[in-house]
Amino acid sequence: MKRFILISIITVFIVVTISVLPRFIPINTIICSNQYGDCSENIKKELETIKGESWHSTNDRILDTVQNTFRINEINTQYVFPNTLKVNIIEARYKFIVENNDGERSAIVDQNGNVLTDAKNSNLPVLKIADVNDFGNKVDEDIFFAGNLLFDLYYSKNVESAILENDGIYLNVDGKYNVIFPVMGDRELLIGSLNAIIFRLNTASLDSTIDKEDNCEKGCYVFNECKDICTVDLRFNNPVIR
């Protein structure tokens, strides 16, 4: 009986120690990862300011500060003995960068249109606009449409940048097609129309009767004329090619 009581006391002591002690141990190491690998540098810097506090305090600050600051979809923490905290987060998916026309200010925009963080050292496509919103705000509807259109073209045609003006979205495809999109519309339909037009122009170029020494393979062939660059304007019901 005494042996059973002693074992019970020891078991309770161990459980209580494991449960309570970490609350008072200072956290000296914070390891952060997201669905893509390591967390972004801005999140890492924020976590660095929290180190040195107790597990309980550190955990609360991470949940309150980091989640509210960086638009994180999901976050959980795991204590690792003796003084490490693992932070696993699901960050909002980055879609594109907005940048002032003068290039002095830029920011990353996520899949919900939120302006998240500075865009330094990012390889996302860049949308040039008149003015970049403050972090934490949402971009306007036309910017969100243009950015998502650019994102689609970035992965399908390696288009790295575009300019949003009041009258259209301006970009270049393959170095020889200046394309103008409307500021709103059906992205899938617009991109499908562009693909069909480019295919037709390429076919006309290869099948043209231009002399071999003046071939149009590196340009585009419009109205029996070989041009270095063609313009495809998709802002109208009937696209304009010139």
150-180 residue pLDDT tens: 999 999 999 999 999 999 999 999 888 999 9
Confidence band for 211, pLDDT divided at 50, 70 and 90: very low
Query: Cα–Cα distance between 46 and 31 in angstroms, integer?
Result: 12
Residue type, 94: Y
* pLDDT value of position 9: 65
Residue 185 per-residue DSSP state: S
Query: Cα–Cα distance between 21 and 60 in angstroms, integer?
Result: 16
Confidence band for 112, pLDDT divided at 50, 70 and 90: confident
Query: Cα–Cα distance between 10 and 17 in angstroms, integer?
Result: 10
Superfamily of domain 24-91: membrane protein fhac (3.10.20.310)
- Among candidate residues 98, 84, 91, 29, the one with its CA nearest the CA of residue 66: 91
Most confident of 23-37, 84-98, 114-128: 84-98
Burial of 118 (0-12, 13-18, 19+ CB in 10 A): middle
Order the strands of the 37-38 sheet from edge to edge. Answer: 37-38, 29-34, 84-91, 72-80
Is the overall model pTM greater than 0.85, yes or no?
A: no
* pLDDT value of position 21: 57
* pLDDT value of position 106: 86
| Strand pairing category for 94-100 and 126-129 | parallel
Please determine, for residue 16, whether its predicted confidence score (pLDDT) is greater than 60: no
The domain segmentation of the chain, as residue ranges, is 24-91, 93-166, 168-242
Please determine, for residue 213, whether its predicted confidence score (pLDDT) is greater than 50: no
In this prediction, what percent of the chain has a pLDDT beyond 90? 30
Please determine, for residue 194, whether its predicted confidence score (pLDDT) is greater than 90: yes
* pLDDT value of position 212: 39
